[in-house]
């Protein structure tokens, strides 16, 4: 690592580290030594929070590679977002984007964060005015953070250098310049840290006013489940693309043999996470109209089940909400400018993060199966025009002409997406018996392009990310922010279903957790939907078919939350999906027949090398014991 040599310096003094100065400006003449940092509980607590400070700010669209570096969103041509440059094929080894190894071009320096975690763990027991139980809890939180930072880089770079302890002053060269550890060793160390942390973490946060967002045992077990599912997935479990990949000293970095026991280990971990979280009261969110002054239909209620599971802060489905990363500006980016036609001049709603047309097609039909697979759905005629009848007026604007693609879809389609002719519940319009807002985005309409930066390039918006209580006014947009949902119960259910299917094939446990999620989304069971509506009615009865169903269910349920990017990679499905063109509607047209023509925006490309980030070239020049990832 580029900064390995600097560890010596860190052990002597930490004041000059920019990220810590604001926490540790506590001594005369701006000299903050380790002794001062851990002389009191209050100063040690500041250092604890400095360890949290390296958590990736995933609620900030520009800082989340999983949002902009894949294919789930497309941006306006003038965008300078670093992650989007990766999506456009500009990633490189000389000046890499979203560089979390060194902390540049949109990334945080996670190795620096890990080193600060090590300093904390080395010194927390020196604090004189703390009880041992509190010291143990704080140490457990930092062990979790250390594990998570290693895991975050593992997903990006594959085999990484493990920084178990900071390097002493008199360390030999082979310690100053570390080797990368094999993937399996990385996974085992991450899990070891999580296992060490879990017993000393609180089951739930008691002092919610001051401590919400800090790590709990449920978070640790849920992250462990995700880590082990990732390790068992095709990218890291018997991947032939990395056969023979060794470091410069001849150590094999990937195991080329598939190992089903990794899935069995993952299934055990996901089951433990499910059982603990449920025992603590976590459950799939459902909207309760009894606490709402407006009467709403069941159709709107189901949509609110889905939207509020994300945007209602600290609802019972949220296992881990990242208070270091509140979802604020991303809501303005997800809201069409001109959504409320009275305020088309209001530039606060930017509306410039756009799901491509293929994401709109990803959602099921109203029968709960893919639209290509539903024998009652006219997939070939999906771009034909259709006038909205009265019975669809909770999904679409009555009397409006829109594409057939927007009709007869599952509730998550309407909850997650805004589009031309689509109802947008909330934003000051709560009575669904009267008028509600709807998007009108053809040329010349309120939600059309206002300028080169404030519009959707595809004609779709991620409504799911927008709190329905936000208020659009003449010149302002007032958002109810929420902690970015790092993990919610639906994700853990889906991870458990996936691990169980891979380890043991179709079982009642797999169907149970899939169907709980589908029921909350207003759908029939997997068994009923595929039996009655699919062109492949027995698909769910075998492991391969059920795997495809589980993957699709996860892509839909977790859409726009930063999971698709990593899931496509760990499944080794990115090469298929990210070589499809990015398309949208023809935004320059006023007439519906011309507007609803599929237009290619960008021909995205993805090769095998893109599954892993390149190591920064400057890193390899300074550390000859490391070599580049394959293909770079």
Report the alpha-carbon distance of residue 422 to residue 437 in Å, rounded: 9
Q: For residue 21, what pLDDT is reported?
A: 33
Name which of 584, 576, 583, 581 is nearest 551 in CA terms: 576
| In contact, 464 and 559? CB cutoff 8 Å | yes
| In contact, 114 and 31? CB cutoff 8 Å | no
Give the 3-state secondary structure of residue 536.
Answer: coil
Q: For residue 32, what pLDDT is reported?
A: 53
> CB-based contacts of 29: which residues, under 8 Å, 6+ apart?
none
Tell the residue number behind the tokens 């489940």, with chain if given: 225
- Strands 385-387 and 482-488 turn out to be unpaired
Token pair belonging to 302: 């189901």
Report the alpha-carbon distance of residue 431 to residue 90 in Å, rounded: 47
Q: For residue 42, what pLDDT is reported?
A: 96
Report the alpha-carbon distance of residue 515 to residue 16 in Å, rounded: 53
Instruction: Report the predicted TM-score, pTM, of the whole model to 2 decimal places.
Output: 0.93
| In contact, 631 and 608? CB cutoff 8 Å | yes
Tell the residue number behind the tokens 């890499």, with chain if given: 96
> CB-based contacts of 379: which residues, under 8 Å, 6+ apart?
371, 372
Token pair belonging to 272: 């433990």
Exposure string for 397-423, b = 16+ CB within 10 A, e = fewer:
beebbbbbbbbbbbbbbbbbbbbbbbb
The torsion region of residue 266 among left (phi > 0), alpha (psi -120 to 50) and beta comes to: alpha
> How many CA atoms are closer than 13 Å to the CA of 16, on its beta-carbon side?
7
Q: For residue 380, what pLDDT is reported?
A: 98
Tell the residue number behind the tokens 């190894």, with chain if given: 101
For residue 583, the 8-state DSSP code is E
Per-residue pLDDT of 500-541, as tens digits, reads 999 999 999 999 999 999 999 999 999 999 999 999 999 999
Report the alpha-carbon distance of residue 33 to residue 106 in Å, rounded: 29
Which residues of the chain have a pLDDT value below 50? 1-31
7-57+108-201 to CATH, choices 1.25.40.890, 1.10.8.620, 3.10.180.10, 3.40.50.11810: 1.25.40.890
For residue 535, the 8-state DSSP code is S
Q: For residue 35, what pLDDT is reported?
A: 86
H or E, element range at 419: strand 417-419
Per-residue pLDDT of 356-407, as tens digits, reads 999 999 999 999 999 999 999 999 999 999 999 999 999 999 999 999 999 9
Q: Where along the chain do its domains lie?
A: 7-57+108-201, 289-485
Residue 429: how many CB atoms within 10 A of its CB? 18
Exposure string for 436-448, b = 16+ CB within 10 A, e = fewer:
bbbbbbbeeebbb
> CB-based contacts of 100: which residues, under 8 Å, 6+ apart?
56, 107, 108, 109, 110, 152, 153, 156
Report the alpha-carbon distance of residue 303 to residue 521 in Å, rounded: 8
Tell the residue number behind the tokens 């995700």, with chain if given: 226
Report the alpha-carbon distance of residue 99 to residue 87 in Å, rounded: 15
Burial (Cβ within 10 Å: 0-12, 13-18, ≥19) of residue 434: exposed
Report the alpha-carbon distance of residue 620 to residue 27 in Å, rounded: 38
Q: For residue 155, give Cα distances in angstroms to 100, 403, 486.
A: 11, 39, 15
Tell the residue number behind the tokens 């990310």, with chain if given: 465
Tell the residue number behind the tokens 């053809």, with chain if given: 442
Burial (Cβ within 10 Å: 0-12, 13-18, ≥19) of residue 512: middle
């Amino acid at each position: 690592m580029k900064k390995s040599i600097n560890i010596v310096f860190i052990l002597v003094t930490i004041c000059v580290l920019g990220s810590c100065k604001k926490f540790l400006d506590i001594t005369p003449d701006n000299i903050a030594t380790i002794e001062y940092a851990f002389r009191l509980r209050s100063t040690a607590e500041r250092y604890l929070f400095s360890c949290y400070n390296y958590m990736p700010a995933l609620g900030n669209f520009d800082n989340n590679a999983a949002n902009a570096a894949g294919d789930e969103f497309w941006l306006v041509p003038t965008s300078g977002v670093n992650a989007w440059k990766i999506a456009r094929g500009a990633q490189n080894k000389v000046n890499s984007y979203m560089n979390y190894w060194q902390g540049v071009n949109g990334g945080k320096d996670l190795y620096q964060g890990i080193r600060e975690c090590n300093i904390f763990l080395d010194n927390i027991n020196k604090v004189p005015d703390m009880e041992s139980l509190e010291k143990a809890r704080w140490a457990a939180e930092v062990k979790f953070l250390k594990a998570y930072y290693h895991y975050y880089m593992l997903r990006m770079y594959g085999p990484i250098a493990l920084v178990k302890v900071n390097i002493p002053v008199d360390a030999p060269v082979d310690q100053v310049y570390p080797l990368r550890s094999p993937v399996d060793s990385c996974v085992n160390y991450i899990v070891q840290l999580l296992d060490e942390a879990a017993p000393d973490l609180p089951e739930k946060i008691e002092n919610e006013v001051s401590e919400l967002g800090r790590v709990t045992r449920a978070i640790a077990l849920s992250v462990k489940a995700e880590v082990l599912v990732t390790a068992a997935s095709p990218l890291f479990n018997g991947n032939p693309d990395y056969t023979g990949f060794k470091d410069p000293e001849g150590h094999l970095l990937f195991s080329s043999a598939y190992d089903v026991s990794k899935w069995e280990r993952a299934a055990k971990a996901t089951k433990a996470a499910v059982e603990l979280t449920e025992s603590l009261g976590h459950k799939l969110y459902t909207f309760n109209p009894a606490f709402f002054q407006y009467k709403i239909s069941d159709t709107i209620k189901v949509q609110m089940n889905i939207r509020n599971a994300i945007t209602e802060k600290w609802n019972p489905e949220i296992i881990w909400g990242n208070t270091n990363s509140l979802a604020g500006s991303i809501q303005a980016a997800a809201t069409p400018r001109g959504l409320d036609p009275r305020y088309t001049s209001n530039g606060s709603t930017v509306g410039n993060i756009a799901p491509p047309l293929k994401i709109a097609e990803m959602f099921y039909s109203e029968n709960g199966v893919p639209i290509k697979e539903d024998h009652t759905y006219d997939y070939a005629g999906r771009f034909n025009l259709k006038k909205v009848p009265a019975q669809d007026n909770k999904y679409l604007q009555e009397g409006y002409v829109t594409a057939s693609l927007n009709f007869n879809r599952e509730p998550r389609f309407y909850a997650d997406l805004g589009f031309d002719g689509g109802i947008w519940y909330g934003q000051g319009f709560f009575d669904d018996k009267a008028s509600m807002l709807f998007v009108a985005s053809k040329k010349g309409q309120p939600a059309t392009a206002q300028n080169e930066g404030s519009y959707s390039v595809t004609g779709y918006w991620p409504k799911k990310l927008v709190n329905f209580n936000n208020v659009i006014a003449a010149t302002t947009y007032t958002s109810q922010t929420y902690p970015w949902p790092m993990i919610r119960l639906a994700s853990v259910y889906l991870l458990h279903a996936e691990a169980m299917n891979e380890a043991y094939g179709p079982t009642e446990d797999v169907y149970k957790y899939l169907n709980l999620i589908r029921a909350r989304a207003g759908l029939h069971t997997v068994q009923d939907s595929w039996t009655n509506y699919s062109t492949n009615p027995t698909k769910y009865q075998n492991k391969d078919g059920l795997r495809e169903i589980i993957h699709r269910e996860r892509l839909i349920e977790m859409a726009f939350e930063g999971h698709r990017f990593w899931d496509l990679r760990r499944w080794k499905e990115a090469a298929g999906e990210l070589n499809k063109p990015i398309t949208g509607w023809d935004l320059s047209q006023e007439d519906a027949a011309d507007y609803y023509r599929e237009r290619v925006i960008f021909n995205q490309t993805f090769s095998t090398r893109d599954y892993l980030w390149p190591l920064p070239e400057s890193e390899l020049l300074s550390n000859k014991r490391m070599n580049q990832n394959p293909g770079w």
